[in-house]
């Protein structure tokens, strides 16, 4: 590997001149610049990341803390990881991906050793143990998912309450009076997946405001329990004309199951849900749904984090950003 000294020697200038030529932080005469550029090309020089990090205390790397709960639907996670990685790269950052079970420990390790300039926390829960770790660390972080205590944190999440209200309104406006909501599995509520009750509570409140019956039920996360549970829910609510699906694993299983039961959508049952376009494509889901916009959430989160790292004024005070998502009509309601 060529070093900056090799380049300086080859170009017949000093080390500092090469460095400034690279950073553009002071003007270089055209001839000097030319010689440096040629030397760099010829030696195939790339600055050493470790040395640069040691000197500048900046690594150009963001830590991405991913958590895989067994009761969660793994394919959905990739929708967040990819846009975050791509946005990061566009802003000049690489991604160090950490999937350890002990996320707090991983976060601390990456931060304290100075491997990262900032941290992205995915799938944050109500009392997420990673938050204390994040607060006690020098690097800024951004959360995707709303915890109970957001003091001093930047948070980005979907506005699940607004999403629930607009799905209820959508059904009520079409005349539905009896609606079932399939929530995430009970475990998700219990471990503090706030999106689960934010969605459910808002849906229940709106239903009561609009004077309709909304029956909330838990979904399941694994076959064959998913199918059994859905059958039971449909059996228990023969008069329901509307179904709100707020559970990836269950909604993925729904088309086949409804077909089995001979239930036609939307003739016999109106179905709405909440997922992304990609998710709909992978699982061939034909339901009108709030676009969960994982790409948008990831992009917003990373941009906020990058501003926080560079200390731009635009970063503003710490706060929570709830994204209002659009409904995508796929004709599954009537």
Partner DNA sequence: CTGAAAGCGCTTACAG
**Residues near a second copy, by CB under 8 A:** 1, 44, 46-54, 59, 61, 64, 68, 73-75, 77-78, 81-82, 85-86, 89, 94-100, 108-110, 112-115, 138, 222-223, 226-227, 252-253, 255-256, 259-260, 278, 281-284
Q: C-alpha angle 246/249/252, rounded to 5°?
A: 90
Q: Are 245 and 182 in contact (CB under 8 A)?
A: yes
> Which one, 31 or 138, has the nearer CB to a second copy?
138
Where does residue 22 rank: exposed (0-12), middle (13-18), buried (19+ CB within 10 A)?
A: middle
252 binds, among a second copy, DNA, none (CB under 5 to 8 A by kind): a second copy
212 binds, among a second copy, DNA, none (CB under 5 to 8 A by kind): none
112 binds, among DNA, a second copy, none (CB under 5 to 8 A by kind): a second copy
Residue whose C-alpha is closest to residue 138's, from 163, 100, 107, 181 = 107
> Which one, 46 or 284, has the nearer CB to DNA?
46
Among residues 9, 10, 15, 290, which is the contact residue for DNA, using CB under 7 A? 15
Q: In angstroms, rounded to a whole number, what is the distance separating the alpha carbons of residues 223 and 241?
A: 25
Q: C-alpha 307: how far from its chain's center?
A: 18
Closest separation between CB of residue 66 and DNA, Å? 27
Two tokens, residue 37: 């550029």
Count of other CB atoms within 10 angstroms of residue 2? 16
Closest separation between CB of residue 304 and DNA, Å? 24
Decide: is 14 part of the binding site for DNA (CB under 7 A): yes
**Segment contacting DNA (CB under 7 A): 20-28, 83-91, 178-186, 253-261?**
20-28
**Segment contacting DNA (CB under 7 A): 21-29, 155-163, 233-241, 260-268?**
21-29
Closest separation between CB of residue 11 and DNA, Å? 8
Decide: is 255 part of the binding site for DNA (CB under 7 A): no
Q: Are 55 and 86 in contact (CB under 8 A)?
A: no
User: Which residues, 50 to 69, sit near DNA by CB under 7 A?
Assistant: 51-52, 54-56
Please report, to the nearest 10 degrees, the dihedral formed by the alpha carbons of residues 103, 105, 110, 113 taken in order.
Answer: 170
**Given the structure tokens 């000294």, which residue do they identify?**
5
Closest separation between CB of residue 163 and a second copy, Å? 23
Looking from the CA of 35 toward its CB, the CA atoms found within 13 Å total 15
Residues, the chain: 334
Closest separation between CB of residue 211 and a second copy, Å? 36
> Which one, 73 or 189, has the nearer CB to a second copy?
73
Decide: is 111 part of the binding site for DNA (CB under 7 A): no
What value does the CA radius of gyration of the chain take, rounded to a whole number of Å? 25
74 binds, among a second copy, DNA, none (CB under 5 to 8 A by kind): a second copy
Say what angle helices 248-261 and 225-236 make with each other, to 10 degrees.
60
Decide: is 23 part of the binding site for DNA (CB under 7 A): yes
Residue whose C-alpha is closest to residue 140's, from 320, 300, 309 = 309
Please report, to the nearest 10 degrees, the dihedral formed by the alpha carbons of residues 76, 82, 88, 92 taken in order.
Answer: 170
> Which one, 194 or 251, has the nearer CB to a second copy?
251
278 binds, among DNA, a second copy, none (CB under 5 to 8 A by kind): a second copy
Q: Are 62 and 118 in contact (CB under 8 A)?
A: yes
Site track 24-53 with DNA (rule: CB under 7 A), x = hit? -xxxxx-xxx-----------x-xx--xx-
Decide: is 22 part of the binding site for DNA (CB under 7 A): yes
Count of other CB atoms within 10 angstroms of residue 233? 19
């Amino acid at each position: 590997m060529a070093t900056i000294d090799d380049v300086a020697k080859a170009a017949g200038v000093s080390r500092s001149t090469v460095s400034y030529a690279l950073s553009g932080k002071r003007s270089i005469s055209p001839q000097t610049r030319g010689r440096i550029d040629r030397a760099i090309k010829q030696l195939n020089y790339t600055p050493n990341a470790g040395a640069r990090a040691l000197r500048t205390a900046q690594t150009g790397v963001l830590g991405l803390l991913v958590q895989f709960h067994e009761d969660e639907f793994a394919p959905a996670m990739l929708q967040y990881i990819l846009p975050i990685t791509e946005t990061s790269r566009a802003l000049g950052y690489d991604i160090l991906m950490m999937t350890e079970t002990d996320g707090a420990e991983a976060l601390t390790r990456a931060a304290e050793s100075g491997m990262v300039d900032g941290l992205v926390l995915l799938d944050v829960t109500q009392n997420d143990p990673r938050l204390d770790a994040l607060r006690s660390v020098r690097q800024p972080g951004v959360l995707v998912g709303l915890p109970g205590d957001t003091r001093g944190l930047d948070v980005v999440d979907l506005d699940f309450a607004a999403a629930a209200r607009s799905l209820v309104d959508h059904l009520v406006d079409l005349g539905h009076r009896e609606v079932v909501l399939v929530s995430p599995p009970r475990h998700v509520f219990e471990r503090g997946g706030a999106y689960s009750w934010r969605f459910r509570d808002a849906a229940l409140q709106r239903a009561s405001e609009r004077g309709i019956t909304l029956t909330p039920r838990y979904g399941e996360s694994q076959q064959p329990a998913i199918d059994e549970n859905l059958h039971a829910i449909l059996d228990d609510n023969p008069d329901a004309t509307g179904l709100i699906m707020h559970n990836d694993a269950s909604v993925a299983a729904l088309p086949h199951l409804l077909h089995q039961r001979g239930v036609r959508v939307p003739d016999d049952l109106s179905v709405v849900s909440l997922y992304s376009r990609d998710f709909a494509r992978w699982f061939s889901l034909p339901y009108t749904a709030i676009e969960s916009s994982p790409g948008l959430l990831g992009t917003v989160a990373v941009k906020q984090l990058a501003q926080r790292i560079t200390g731009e004024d635009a970063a503003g005070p710490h706060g929570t950003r709830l994204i209002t998502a659009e409904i995508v009509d796929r004709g599954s309601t009537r």
